[in-house]
Amino acid sequence: MFITNDIRYIGVNDHQIDLFEGIYTVPNGMSYNSYAIVDEKIAIMDSVDRSFGEEWLAKIDAALDGRTPDYLVVHHMEPDHSSNICAFMERYPQAVVVASARAFVMMQNFFGQDFADRRIVVGEGDSLALGKHTLTFVTAAMVHWPEVMMSYDNCDKVLFSADAFGKFGALDVEDEWACEARRYYFGIVGKYGGPTQAVLKKITTLDISAICPLHGPVLNENLEYYVNLYDTWSSYGVESEGIVIAYTSVYGNTKLAVELLAEKLRDKGCKVVVNDLARCDMAEAVEDAFRYGKMVLATTTYNGTVFPFMEDFIHHLTARGYCNRTVALMENGSWAPAAARTMAKMLENSKDLTFTDTVVTIRSALNDESRAQLDAMTNELLG
């Protein structure tokens, strides 16, 4: 597949995988993207996952039509992109690895060698001339590993963006970019909003006609849309108006209260998303929490604290820098309700959270008092 006249796609699709990074469900598989820039000199942009080494090497041979590559540019050392570096260097003994200094340290750690006699170490602003194409390197530390860099081809105006702008899903499956890119971003990159903002400031000064990420499709239309979403996500801004309710329920009474609250909110024209944390994809629930500006947490008191799925959910939020939101709390406790206090404590280090004055407290099942609290919470959330 040709990206431009000189840039060719040589990546692979993975439909064997069930959990990406051992945690994220990927029913539509994953793509591991690699690219070839064919000029006077030939640069291969990144490797692929180890399970697809032979397929990738065969694609390189087919794309180059008898020529051999001069460089392997390594933007990111995570194994789904680096596992075939050694196989590549063995296949092409004249080739040189181009990567950041930290990437070569990681190569030594992963593979027991750092190609000291066949390497070029690059950093911010360094360039690699291929002929009419010249790559300029942009460091992208902590988006989302410390060795990461991007590169910009000044000829075709293509940004090779490493994991940034990537998404879950193989390229032979059609799905909505934003949904799986958002889940990917907040699951994997979300903690590193500050570094992402720093990189965005650098790349938005470039004249970019296409973005080539390491996962997901090449982006070559309406680039402002993708960059603006990344800006919103990495600045922890509100993407969509609405309220997300995340809950756990043991015997159904908390669920009933959540459903009643959602109905009240929807009746007043509010967009509401409800996630049962015991049954939903946790990464989807995290994605929703960061997408919307308001969140209701509803759970039972359990062993003097909160139900385990809620504890896990809040940990996912705080680990990713959850902030700048309005939060409402609902608790259920048959004899000693403590969930609201516990959830507030778990969120105390999150910046710029506004808690509603109303806390809904259910003692086993809804009664007149807790129903009135639901009405008050509805009005406060919509006020």
CATH 3.40.50.12780 fits 7-234, yes or no: no
The model's confidence at residue 306, banded by pLDDT at 50, 70 and 90, is very high
| Percent of the chain residues topping a pLDDT of 90 | 98
Per-residue pLDDT at 39: 98
Mean per-residue pLDDT, 116-127: 97
| 155 phi, psi to nearest 5 deg | -80, -55
Would you tell me which CATH number, out of the four given (3.40.50.300, 3.50.50.60, 3.40.50.360, 3.40.50.1580), belongs to the domain 243-382?
A: 3.40.50.360
β partners of residue 286: none
Residue 14 burial (CB count, 10 A): 18
Per-residue pLDDT at 169: 98
Q: Would you say the CATH fold of 243-382 matches that of 7-234?
A: no
Per-residue pLDDT at 383: 86
Residue 146 has pLDDT above 90, yes or no: yes
Per-residue pLDDT at 1: 85
Given a contact cutoff of 8 angstroms between Cβ atoms, the answer to whether 131 and 109 are in contact is no
d(CA 227, CA 291): 16
Residue 29 burial (CB count, 10 A): 18
Query: Per-residue pLDDT tens for 249-277?
Result: 999 999 999 999 999 999 999 999 999 99
Residue 96 has pLDDT above 90, yes or no: yes
The residue assigned the tokens 């194409």 is: 133
Per-residue pLDDT at 57: 98
β partners of residue 136: 127, 152
The model's confidence at residue 158, banded by pLDDT at 50, 70 and 90, is very high
| Confidence (pTM) | 0.94
The whole-chain average pLDDT of the chain stands at 97
Mean per-residue pLDDT, 159-165: 98
Query: Per-residue pLDDT tens for 325-383?
Result: 999 999 999 898 999 999 999 999 999 999 999 999 999 999 999 999 999 999 999 98
Domain coordinates of the chain in residue numbers? 7-234, 243-382
Per-residue pLDDT at 56: 98
Residue 115 has pLDDT above 90, yes or no: yes
Per-residue pLDDT at 280: 96
SS (H, E, C) the chain: CECCCCEEECCEEECCCCEECCCEECCCCEEECCEEEECCCEEEECCCCHHHHHHHHHHHHHHHCCCCCCEEECCCCCHHHHCCHHHHHHHCCCCEEEECHHHHHHHHHHHCCCCCCCEEECCCCCEEECCCCEEEEEECCCCCCCCCEEEEECCCCEEECCCCCCCCECCCCCCCHHHHHHHHHHHHHHHHHHHHHHHHHHHCCCCCCEEECCCCCCECCCHHHHHHHHHHHHCCCCCEEEEEEEECCCCCHHHHHHHHHHHHHHHCCCCEEEEECCCCCHHHHHHHHHHEEEEEEEEEEECCEECHHHHHHHHHHHHCCCCCEEEEEEEECCCCCCHHHHHHHHCCCCCCEEEEEEEEEEECECCHHHHHHHHHHHHHHHC
| Percent of the chain residues topping a pLDDT of 70 | 100
